Amino acid sequence: MRDAYKDAHYRSVLKALSWRVFATLTTILIVFAFTKKFVLSLEIGAVEVVLKLIIYYFHERLWSVISFGKKKHPLSLLPVKNKLKEEDFNLIKNKLKELGYIEDN
């Protein structure tokens, strides 16, 4: 079972890519507005997109391990040493419903 409280690496990569498209287009437009040189704008955009994509990925991964501002789930205090099997997860879920901690959906 996947950890529902942590972004997967591929999600961070996709977020970085989508952001870079918009940010790089903005950079290209700004450079063009100042220089009126289209090729120079594209060259700066090409360098910028690669460097900032790498920097953003590591920035995102760093923030994923920083606990500041995150709410800790009370069940995270339980010392579970292995991933839960689907049937075990369902048993726990049903017990939490029975005890009134979660609602039936």
8-36 tens-digit pLDDT: 888 888 987 888 889 999 999 999 999 99
pLDDT confidence of residue 62: 94
Is 59 inside a domain boundary? yes
Does residue 91 lie within any of the structural domains? yes
Is pLDDT of 1 > 50?
no
User: 48 with 39: CB under 8 angstroms?
Assistant: no
CB atoms within 10 A of CB 28: 20
Measured CA to CA, the distance from residue 105 to residue 98 in angstroms comes to 13
Q: Is residue 104 part of a domain?
A: no
Half-sphere exposure of 101 (CA within 13 A, CB side): 9
Note down the domain range covering 40.
Answer: 9-98
* Residue 67 counted as domain residue: yes
Q: Give 41-48's long-range contacts (Cβ < 8 A, gap of 24+).
A: 48/23, 48/24
Amino acid 104 reads D
> Residue 3 pLDDT > 60, yes or no?
no
Total tally of structural domains belonging to the chain: 1
pLDDT single digits (tens) 42-70: 999 999 988 988 998 899 899 989 988 88
Question: How much of the chain exceeds pLDDT 90, in percent?
Answer: 41
- Give domain status of residue 65, yes or no: yes
